[in-house]
Structure formats: C-alpha cells, structure tokens
Structure 1
C-alpha cells in the first residue's frame, strides 16, 4: 500500500491551499484501495480537519508513515522528513538564491523532490502552471493595495472570501479613479487579470490611445509580445524567433512606465 500525506503549510505567512480536497480524498479511498491518505492536522487550511474526517480520511500530526507528501509552498527545512518523496512548489528551478539552503537540505536528507513547476505534458506545456485564478488574485491584490495606499476605497483580502462568487460581489458598485493599468501577457494569467478588469468596469483601450490620451474613467491596455518587444533591425516581432534569439530584440515598454499607475504582469 502507498501512503500519501497532505502536509500542513509551514511557510510564513501561511498558505491555506491544499493539494487534495475532502471529496477527492474520498474518491481515492473508494476507488483506489491500494492507496491510503493521511491529512496532517492544520488550523489554517481552507478545509477543516472535520471535513476530511467526514470524508473518511485519517487525521494525524506525525507524517513519518507516509511514502509521498503533498504540499503547496516551500517546506521549512526543519519540517522536512528524510528519505521521503515530496511534491510542492520549491521555487528552485531557476536557481533562486533565497532557496539555496532549501535545495541543499533536500539533497542532504536524501529526499526525492517532484516540483509541480516541472511537470509537463508530452507537448511541453506545464501541467500545473500559473493560471486563470492566479491572474484573478494578482489583479485583485493590485487594485486592493492601490485603494489601501490612496484611501479611496476598500477591498477585502482574497482569502477572506469563501468562493469566487463572493469575491466578485465586491466589484459591483466599486468606483475606481481615473487610473491607467498596464496588463502584460496573453496567457491564462492575463485572462484572469482581464476578467477582473472587466468585472470592475475598467475600459480596455488600444496602446496608442493609452499612451497619448487622458481619460475621465479607469482604463487598461493589454500588452502582448508585439507591444513589448521589437527586433533591433527589422522593427518586427515574431514570437518563436524572439524566444530563440532574445538578444536581437529591444524593449518597447519604457513609454508605458511614464503614464501607468498600476502594472499587472502576466508574463512568465
């Protein structure tokens, strides 16, 4: 039997997300008898211990008996159990210096790390990448912090909203000032950002309008690859060529910095 453990999040500030919901754990228990799931007790998880118990899942504090441990954020070094297999976002793929000690500890403790960021489909697309709701949360936080800084309006933290519907209810009737918002990217994250912009009643404008005009209402511009970069010689943009030869391109973003109030980055 394989024993899978859902660990509590130990990073500060605490993350309330979890890899498997009670319903998913119940399905695994009923359909995969060779797999056992144990949930580490936690007071900050979005699902309570009681909800997992109701689904027939064992709750424990010690996770030594687990073969595979699932988390979300980086696991604090002191919480790592030697000789286990872990799945979580380690933020070490790009050799991030702030997690150098973490990856060193993982090696020293003989831990097998499977980073969600490295899981890919056969075509090379990430299985678990930043997606639509990452854009939603990022856009919400950007607008929320602008309100906190200016004192013009108040929005709650995302984690205080039970679900997506309760979150977007705060957008109806929201009065934003005449600000300019630059949204970069065209993928799933950018789509989430634009969803929030539209729900908040922020108007989309073209790049030339954004740079040249003043508006009496809040606006945003979506800047894709062609608006952000241009070839140094041909003055054109080709996505594949840019990714293969980025040194041949220059940035076109500087003019936007002079008239942008909020930048929402959706570029990986």
Structure 2
C-alpha cells in the first residue's frame, strides 16, 4: 500500500475552524501533470469539505477525485491528525502530530498509529541536509496571532469597562485575504490616532520576544497601528511619564501604542554578577542564569508575544 502512487487529502476534523489544506489545487496540478512519471503520483483523492479554503471544485478542475473513501491511498496528508477511528492500517500519514515531546494529550494518537502499523511523517521533524526544519511556523502565524490577540484585547478591555477600537476587529480566519485583514487593522489604527485610547489602559505596551518568523509577522501587523518602539531599559521611564501625565491631568487620551522587542539577555542574567550575559553559555548552561523577565519586562507589558 505504501508508495502506490495514490495520495489522499484529509478533510480537517480536529478543529472546527481549520480551513487550511496540506496541498492546494495548484500543488496537485503540478504533482499530477508536471514531469509525468517523475513525481510518482498517479491519483489524488480529496475528502470533501465545505469549510476548506479551496473549494472541492477547484481540486476536481485539476484532476483530483473527491471522495470520503481514502482506503486506496498509500500516503494520506493532513494539517492536523484525523480522528483515531479513521486511521487506516499499513498507510503512511503526514501531519502535525504534536507527539514527539510525548505530549500527554496526543499519546492515544501515537498508540493508534503503532497499533495499525502505520507510518507517521511529522512535519515538525522534517529537516534538510543542514539539520534545519523545512516546515515551520512562518510570518503568517505571527500575523494571524496578533490579529486574533487584538480582537481578544478589545473583548478584555470591554470586560474591564473600556471601549476600544479593537472591538471592531474580526478573528483572522474571518478575512478573505491578508490584505483585507490588514485593512481592518489600519482602520483601527486610524481610530486610535484620531480619538485616542483611555489613559486608564495606557501606556499600551506590546512585548515581542525574539526575531523569528512569528515575531516578525506579529510586528508587521503591529506596525499598522500608530506606534513607537522603545528599548526594554526605557519601560520604567515610559510608565513614570504616563503616571506624571495622568496626575497632572495634561492628557486624558493616548494616541499611539508602544512596541518593545526583547532578547535572551532581557529574560535572564548571570548568577555571577562579575560575568556578562553570553548566549552560547546560556544555552549550554542555563543553570548559571537567573530569570529577570518577570521583574524587568512583564510588569510593564500589556501584551506579550512568545515566538
């Protein structure tokens, strides 16, 4: 059954909001029609889905078959795992399984894979010749994450008694494109620049950890708002200025938000006060360092993005 040239695409059943697909119609067209005989793919069977971002008809147009039955497939692809009872014996599966760290909630999945003598290719563990992951979170994860967080921030502040422009944002999956989502965030930014935010929730500080793809994607969305980036060392000063302003009643509104990018040396410090922070040493000997993030960064953060 493995390597029989028939590939299956799962309809995602783990999360009700999952609209992604492991292969787009254009990918399928390349596998089916480009360099015939070289890809090893003879047929692609796609389970029907009314929520997938690519309509079933688009797959049919490029030569895929639409069927719930994937029993003919040697390789079955998904984003997330199928329901346990749907795992077929002696097949190869590829999806994000979240099992290699022995995540307790997913051990039944791994047990089922083993019991059915199936092969599992976890996207998270596929690496190139240099040992680096070939499939990983990209900037879209950060973009979507911050859009969803801004929406949640609006809900939280409303619960605390503050109306904010963030209330007009939808969840990231509600927008038909990145451009549409960005347009909505820009509108929120324009409202902040025009009408401001209540001083009771300001300064509004967004902390971004690291400079990876997720952090950069989140910062891309953040920069659509009226903003200023500040160094971590200036956070106490920023809050002191805000308190002075409030006590002097010089301003009742704030017309921008603040961003702060922190690195490892803002999160920990050497236990030995005579030594300077060394990233290589920290990764090799974390026991030689003490946490400081909770004292120097977290008290000033309105939003913390982990990447």
TM class by smaller structure: over 0.9
Q: What is the distance in 1 between the residues matched to 2:70 and 2:277? A: 52
1:201-256 deviation digits (Å, cap 9, x = unpaired): 33211111123313543111011112112222254322222222222222220122
Is 1:162 aligned with 2:200? no
**Following the alignment from structure 2 to structure 1, what is the Cα–Cα distance between the partners of residues 120 and 17?**
21
Contact 1:74–1:91, Cα closer than 8 Å, also in 2? no
Aligned counterpart, 1:200: 225
Matched residue SS, 1:247: helix
Segments of 5+ residues of structure 2 without an aligned counterpart are 159-163, 243-253
Partner residue in 1 for 2:289: 249
2:6 is aligned with 1:6: no
Measured in 2, the distance between the counterparts of 1:242 and 1:251 equals 12
1:18 aligns with 2:59: no
CA distance in 2, matches of 1:147, 1:162: 21
2:67 matches 1:27: no
The higher radius of gyration belongs to 2
Per-residue deviation, 1:13: 2.6
Number of residues paired by the alignment? Answer: 266
Say which SS state the counterpart of residue 137 (structure 2) adopts. coil
The 2-side partners of 1:42 and 1:136 are apart by 25
Tell me the alpha carbon deviations over residues 98-143 of structure 1, each in whole angstroms, 9 at most, x when there is no partner. 1111111111111100000001122221111111111111111111
* SS across alignment from 1:25: helix
Matched, 1:224 2:231: no
State the 1:74 CA deviation: 2.4
Q: Equivalent residue for 1:72?
A: 79
TM-score (normalizing by structure 2): 0.82
1:237 to 277, 281, 292: 277
Say if 1:161 and 1:167, in contact at 8 Å, map to a contact too: yes
* 5+ residue gaps, structure 1: none
**RMSD, matched Cα:** 1.6
SS of equivalent residue, structure 1 residue 258: helix
Matches of 1:101 and 1:261 in 2, distance apart? 38
**2:225/2:257 contact within 8 Å kept:** no
The question of 1:210 aligning with 2:235 is answered yes
Partner Cα distance (2:286, 2:126) in 1? 25
Alignment of 1:259 onto 2:264: no
The answer to whether residue 112 in structure 2 is matched with residue 93 in structure 1 is: no
Q: CA deviation at 1:187?
A: 0.9
- CA offsets 1:55-88 (integer angstroms, 9 cap, x no match): 2211111000000010001222112111110000
